[in-house]
Copies of this chain bind each other. A is one copy, B any other.
Amino acid sequence: MNVTLIGAGNLATNLGKALLSTGFEINQVYSRTKKSAELLAGKLDCCFTNDIEEIKKDSDFYICSLKDTALEDVASNLSVNENAVVVHTAGSMPLDIIKTATTKHYGVLYPMQSFSKNKEVSFKEIPIFIEASDSKSMEIIKFVSSSISDKIIELSSEKRKYIHLSAVFVCNFVNYMYSIGADIVGLTNLDFNLLIPLIKETASKVEKMSPAESQTGPAVRYDENVINKHIELLKNKPEWAEIYRLLSDGIHNKAKLK
């Protein structure tokens, strides 16, 4: 099967590599930025273009991994073979956004993971949420996604929005907490790596018990003495103090409900 990647960002890079390694042929990479297209095409040993009209029509499968706002525009300009399947990979965009004029077959292939270009991930365990316009497309999307992952879940656009939202909390917001933690540790001239055992244990705990059960710290026992001291330490960082206050209140209110 021939695959075209439309987009050359973190997700396209990781998907492209994973598909190539399981035997798919990458036909072409498109990106608005020539340099990005060329870079990824180099990694995947295929041709590239930055002109949407030069996207080749002879692929079986088109994966659009673009900024959400670019999807509609690309879909409406995309001209492909009538048997081709076109999918997008966005957590929060509806199925129909990727409908194109030239094929009736389209869908969604949303791998829930945090991708960086320079850190390879193993796709095997990553849940991929899929959706399709019709049964033939569904079959092909399943074939492609199950070649790289063991966890394929059919899910409506409506529910996928919530899954994406939860991913923002457990990944993007969590990483921001790491980032503030790193900045605070930096104030003492100690090394951020000292926090790694705590970070790993916190992540590992929720495999064994629910996050509500594993909650610890001053906020859950509402230790006002510690909370007030911490807020005092943040007096030169009012935005962190506000985060501290808001999250501590949330933790405390949740604990009270138990």
Which residues of A come within 8 Å of B, CB atoms? Answer: 10, 67-69, 91-92, 112-116, 118-119, 121, 125-127, 151, 153, 155, 159, 161-182, 184-185, 187-188, 190, 192-221, 223, 225-226, 229-230, 233-234, 239, 242-244, 246-247, 249-251, 253-254
A193 to B208: give the CA distance in the assembly, Å.
10
Q: Which 7 A-B pairs have the closest CB atoms?
A: A172-B217, A179-B211, A203-B203, A170-B181, A178-B211, A166-B184, A169-B181
In the complex the two chains form, is B116's CB within 8 Å of A214's CB? Answer: yes
Contacts of A242 in B (CB 8 A): 246
Q: A161-B233, A181-B169 are in contact. Are A151 and B194 (CB under 8 A)?
A: yes
Q: Which of B162, B215, B223, B226 contacts A187 (CB 8 A)?
A: B162
Q: Which of B121, B188, B205, B246 contacts A159 (CB 8 A)?
A: B188
What is the predominant secondary structure among interface residues of chain A facing chain B? Answer: helix
In the complex the two chains form, is B192's CB within 8 Å of A167's CB? Answer: no
In the complex the two chains form, is A205's CB within 8 Å of B114's CB? Answer: yes
Given contacts A167-B198, A169-B177, A182-B211, 4 further A-B contacts (CB under 8 A): A92-B226, A113-B201, A116-B205, A127-B194
Q: A119-B209, A179-B211, A211-B182 are in contact. Are A171 and B125 (CB under 8 A)?
A: no
Q: Which of B121, B153, B169, B182 contacts A201 (CB 8 A)?
A: B121
Q: A170-B195, A210-B192, A246-B242 are in contact. Are A177 and B177 (CB under 8 A)?
A: yes
Interface centre among A69, A116, A159 (most CB of B within 10 A): A116
In the complex the two chains form, is B172's CB within 8 Å of A126's CB? Answer: no
Q: How far is the CB of A230 from chain B (nearest CB, A)?
A: 5
A226 to B181: give the CA distance in the assembly, Å.
26
In the complex the two chains form, is B206's CB within 8 Å of A184's CB? Answer: no
Q: How far is the CB of A204 from chain B (nearest CB, A)?
A: 8
Contacts of A204 in B (CB 8 A): 200
A233 to B167: give the CA distance in the assembly, Å.
14
In the complex the two chains form, is B172's CB within 8 Å of A178's CB? Answer: no
Contacts of A218 in B (CB 8 A): 92, 168, 172
Q: A119-B205, A119-B209, A185-B163 are in contact. Are A172 and B69 (CB under 8 A)?
A: no
Q: How far is the CB of A257 from chain B (nearest CB, A)?
A: 11
Contacts of A167 in B (CB 8 A): 181, 195, 198
